[in-house]
Amino acid sequence: MDDKTFEGLIVLEYLKIGIIPFFPKKNNLPINSVLPESDVSPKRKFRKLYKKARKKFYSKSSLVYVEKKYGAAGQNPTPLQMARRKHLVWKYISLKVKTNNS
């Protein structure tokens, strides 16, 4: 499978889940500028997916490292931590697409 097809399948997976696609190494608009303030459903879906990805890629023993890199639970992440969270979710979704299409 070539890169364009793979990237398209990732975008379709994002849309199927109901969150805004993220593209690593490209300019991405902040979620607040894309969604109206009243629409919290995609934000909730993103948080849920982030928690699944964190659980898949990191064990509970690395909690201090995860909190430092991605931000502590219940607190607003810094812009760098948010970018890392988006990348982790992208990694989770791309792995999901690879396993479904192999």
The per-residue pLDDT for 30 is 58
Label residue 24 left, alpha or beta by phi (over 0 means left) and psi (-120 to 50 means alpha).
beta
Dump pLDDT digits (tens) for 78-95.
Answer: 989 998 999 999 999 999
pTM over 0.85: no
Look at residue 6 and give its three-state secondary structure: helix
Q: Under a CB-based contact definition with an 8 Å cutoff, are residues 91 and 57 in contact? A: yes
Domains identified in the chain, total number? 1
Q: How far is CA 76 from the centre of its chain?
A: 16
Q: Which domain holds residue 20?
A: 3-100
